[in-house]
Amino acid sequence: MAKNKLYLIDATAFCYRAFHGLRNLSTSFGQPTNAIYGFIRILKKILKEKKPDLLAACFDVSRQTFRQKKFSDYKIQRAPMPDGLSSQIPLIKEIISAYGISIFEKEGFEADDIIATIAKKTKGKGLATTIVSSDKDLLQLVDEDTAVFSPYKDEGVLYDTQKVFELLGVHPQKIPELIALMGDDADNIPGAGISEKNAVGLINEFKSLDKLLKDVDKVKQEKLRNRITQNIDKIKLSQELAVLDDEVDLDFNLDKLRIGQPDYKELFRLFKHLEFNSLLKDLPDQEEEFLKIEVARLKDEELKDFKDLTEELFLFGQEIGNMIFFLKNTFFSLEGIGPNIAAILANPEVKKVGHDLKKIKMLLANDNIRLEGLSFDTMIAGYLLNPSKPGYSLTDVALDYLGKFSAVESMDNQRAIGLVLGLKPKLEQELNDKSLVSLFTDLEMPLVEVLAQMELNGIKLDLEILNKLSKELEIRLIKLIKEIYDLSGSQFNINSPKQLREILFERLKLPVVKKGKTGPSTDEEVLRRLAPSHKLPALLLEYRQLTKLKSTYIDALPDLVNSKTGRVHTSFNQTGTETGRLSSSNPNLQNIPIKTDIGSQIRRAVISSGRENFLLSCDYSQVELRVLAHMAQDENLIAAFKKEQDIHRITASLIYGLDERDITDTMREVAKRVNFGIVYGLTAYGLSRDLNIAQDEAQQFIDSYFLRYPKVKVYMEEQIKKAQKDGFVTTLLGRRRYIPEINDKNQAVMQFAQRKAINTPIQGSASDLIKLAMVQIHHQINARNLKAKMILQIHDELVFDLPNTELSEFIPLVKDKMENVLKLDVPIRASIKKGKNWLEMAPA
């Protein structure tokens, strides 16, 4: 008859191993989770693969145990438990309990002693005991009923008595005697300093430590004999320290070891709190009542009576044919989009609610069906409430705001619309509680319409220019590759970091700047720092830039042209950044390096849509510095902007103590770097590296800046204090960014958080400003029935495509909206240029 299986987990050791072995995982609110996640992975592996009948997790309670009383230096060299780990231990214990597993611990004893005690107490109970640990100390417990399983190597290693003997050369119960002779550096057990080979030989020759100490004069080697006789007290003490205590007074019975029924509600709560979405998906599905819905199959003519309603319409679907709607307390699907549902969809008075409404609007628009009256998007609401999340799929938002786990990977439309229905009131309440209703209603929801229209508009490309550019670049790259090979003395794979390391650091003997996991780094920063000492790094930088531009844009853009429209339709992502800035993808037009000649040539390929049309570029001038002046209320900054002065020249005159007329271009460039750097929490180290100057000189520039603009420093300090107190900072329009890590004890983490606290209100307010302008300009285009189309938004720049005949009306309209949409204490300025392509533009 097979024995019941008992598994005893060395829990504290696994927590440490997971903490140090996994990358720095943490939640959006700053709670470290790497040890928790790693521990759960091991626990689930044991439960799934080993299927134990009984299970216990054993923990250390504190560093002070009976062993310290015997020997005060026991484990003295070990650092205290890191804060990042200690904050995870209570959560790990909560998860273990929620799985229905008992936890054992005892003040004054280590987890090893607890395991030894349980193993002893369960002997003779018909159990096969397996200790889960990679700690060699626990191998002393191995016998015919007890094994040790180390789960880390491939399928793991199971140590029985034979396996222990193969590993150490002695039987399991002799391990403390072995440690007594050798010592143990990990636990700071002194021993006699005898080598492992000699210690194993002595134990096997004399059969026991007691006999060895009695007959020490029979040890043949004089050196070994002297070592033992001189350290007899240390040897006896070390044996006492190494032997596990199997008589710990535990509140114990066999029933406590039986695995109970998991509390899935509690596991859901914990995993949701810790943002373990992948683990949530593995839990048994617990449906909310609102997901148990009946969907009627209607014909379009049955919606005649719904046409004049002004109620909310909920809708969800990945394709037009499988959409589900909820209107007037009825869930329904349709065989197709007929005139009645089309009229409801196009009616702005019927407020539309859904998840990722822009995607649905685009889907319908491709079938010439209008979707108007976008009112509540659960994706946008989820993003505004916490812009630090990795994603805002319906599953993600449902996991955050619904009390039970009700979203699954293979979600059908019926369940999805139920989720949207359940989410809306919860999200509305959260938006209200966080004072985000106005930002959501007046800016972000209207912006959904704007971005959808921009995506539908698309941009026209001159494919001949791109084709010519690709060929020119090919020739340039061939020449560049030859130069690289000549300088390095051999041909190699330029894209291989391993081969590049060999060339740079072994063959050319260039200094190693920094190291990664696989060896010396060859990243962009390293190559820039090596460039002054050798020609090759600069050529490698050029090669990387050109190959990236060629593959990402020049060769990729033609393939993205829609065959029906002849346009490239980039996707604008409203939920992609923590500051509120928009991002774009497929293609990502935000990252074209316009300061390089090739990067700027890509702009030449973006052209107006017809002979009578022009492109209009409307670019904010130094908008973030203007926002900084307003938010900091610094008189000098405000005065400079009000007088329309050259802000960089003014700053240069202040930090150099010279008249503006005496400021050189180099001085102005330094001041420009400082002006923009301050917005991003510039440090002396960063400025010194940026300008290639000494760090103390960089610090002098920064000190001079704050001396001349004292309220900027006050503003920065206040933002840091606000983030430390509230856990978040806000933009002028109330957009929040949570920065929980600002109170982190890790200096580097805290300083990075402080820079975010300084920059976010500025960059986020500038983002809100251009979004407001986009919404109002879009409204004016529709109200005036203009043919002008907004086609691009790149950081602080808007690009329009419009007929020549509309320029005189449209230019003042755009300028007015961009400069006056939000009144600040400094003037906002936008420069406007026109041209037939995006590169060659002249002031309009």
- Of 22, 35, 150, 23, the residue nearest 81 (C-alpha): 35
Verify that 336 and 397 share a domain, yes or no.
yes
CA-to-CA distance for 674 and 660, rounded, in angstroms?
17
Say whether pLDDT at 1 is over 70.
Answer: no
Verify that 21 and 142 share a domain, yes or no.
yes
Q: Output the furthest CA–CA distance in the chain (Å, rounded).
A: 111
Average confidence score pLDDT of the chain: 88
Say whether pLDDT at 101 is over 90.
Answer: yes
DSSP at 503: I
Q: What is the pLDDT of residue 649?
A: 92
Q: What is the pLDDT of residue 431?
A: 98
Domain with 707 in it: 623-733
pLDDT band at 292 (very low <50, low <70, confident <90, very high): low
Verify that 742 and 728 share a domain, yes or no.
no
Q: What is the pLDDT of residue 739?
A: 92
Q: Is residue 275 part of a domain?
A: no
Q: Is residue 197 part of a domain?
A: no
- The phi and psi torsions of 457 (rounded to 5 degrees) equal -60, -50
The residue with greater pLDDT, 571 or 593, is 571
Verify that 35 and 157 share a domain, yes or no.
yes
**Structure token digits, residue 644:** 């329309």
Contact predicate 57/47, CB 8 Å: no
**Structure token digits, residue 8:** 């005893």
Q: What is the pLDDT of residue 307?
A: 66
The DSSP annotation for 808-829 comes to: HHHHHHHHHHHHHSS--SS---
- Give the pLDDT mean for 225-245: 80
pLDDT band at 287 (very low <50, low <70, confident <90, very high): low
Selection from 160-174, 580-594, 809-823 with the highest mean pLDDT: 809-823
Verify that 153 and 23 share a domain, yes or no.
yes
Tell me, what CATH number does 417's domain have? 3.30.420.10
Verify that 299 and 382 share a domain, yes or no.
yes
Verify that 843 and 747 share a domain, yes or no.
yes
- Of 273, 348, 281, the residue nearest 309 (C-alpha): 348
The residue with greater pLDDT, 430 or 139, is 430
Q: Is residue 616 part of a domain?
A: yes
Tell me, what CATH number does 752's domain have? 3.30.70.370
Q: How far is CA 323 from the centre of its chain?
A: 33
| Amino acid (1-letter code) at residue 360 | I
Tell me, what CATH number does 556's domain have? 1.20.1060.10
Q: Which of 457, 483, 504 is the last residue of a domain?
A: 457
CA-to-CA distance for 525 and 523, rounded, in angstroms?
6
Say whether pLDDT at 89 is over 80.
Answer: yes
CA-to-CA distance for 398 and 570, rounded, in angstroms?
28
- Give the pLDDT mean for 815-843: 96
Verify that 16 and 146 share a domain, yes or no.
yes
Say whether pLDDT at 843 is over 70.
Answer: yes
Verify that 447 and 369 share a domain, yes or no.
yes
The DSSP annotation for 505-529 comes to: IIIS-PPP--EETTEE--SHHHHHH
- Of 318, 383, 140, 327, the residue nearest 244 (C-alpha): 140
Q: What is the pLDDT of residue 315?
A: 94
Q: Is residue 432 part of a domain?
A: yes
Tell me, what CATH number does 642's domain have? 1.10.150.20
- Of 52, 39, 70, 38, the residue nearest 8 (C-alpha): 52
Q: Which of 400, 430, 457 is the last residue of a domain?
A: 457
pLDDT digits over 642-658, tens only? Answer: 999 999 999 899 888 88
- Give the pLDDT mean for 332-349: 91
Cis peptide bond upstream of 843, omega within 30? no
Place of tokens 């969907």: 295
Say whether pLDDT at 77 is over 70.
Answer: no
Q: Is residue 220 part of a domain?
A: no
Q: Is residue 271 part of a domain?
A: no
Contact predicate 475/410, CB 8 Å: no
CA-to-CA distance for 498 and 781, rounded, in angstroms?
55
Helix 647-656 vs helix 635-642: crossing angle, to nearest 10: 140
Q: Could you tell me how many residues make up the chain?
A: 844
pLDDT band at 430 (very low <50, low <70, confident <90, very high): very high
**Structure token digits, residue 535:** 């020609």
**CA dihedral sign, ordered 805, 806, 808, 811:** negative
Q: What is the pLDDT of residue 408?
A: 43
pLDDT band at 76 (very low <50, low <70, confident <90, very high): low
Q: What is the pLDDT of residue 694?
A: 86
Q: Which of 457, 492, 508 is the last residue of a domain?
A: 457
Say whether pLDDT at 406 is over 60.
Answer: no
Say whether pLDDT at 409 is over 50.
Answer: no
218's CB contacts (< 8 A; 6+ apart) are 206
In a 10 Å sphere around its CB, with 0-12 CB exposed, 13-18 middle and 19+ buried, how is residue 269 labelled? middle
Verify that 582 and 664 share a domain, yes or no.
no
Verify that 551 and 582 share a domain, yes or no.
no
Verify that 105 and 49 share a domain, yes or no.
yes
Q: Report CA dihedral (623, 629, 635, 641) to the nearest 10 degrees.
A: 0
Q: What is the pLDDT of residue 71?
A: 65
pLDDT band at 288 (very low <50, low <70, confident <90, very high): low
Contact predicate 141/172, CB 8 Å: yes
CA distances from 269 to 30, 103, 674, 728, 822 (A): 18, 20, 47, 24, 42
Q: Is residue 196 part of a domain?
A: no
Q: Is residue 143 part of a domain?
A: yes
| Amino acid (1-letter code) at residue 385 | L
3-state secondary structure of 752: helix
pLDDT digits over 447-474, tens only? Answer: 999 999 999 999 999 999 999 999 999 9
117's CB contacts (< 8 A; 6+ apart) are 245, 246, 247, 248, 250, 252
- Please count the structural domains in the chain: 5
- Of 337, 395, 347, the residue nearest 374 (C-alpha): 347
3-state secondary structure of 835: strand
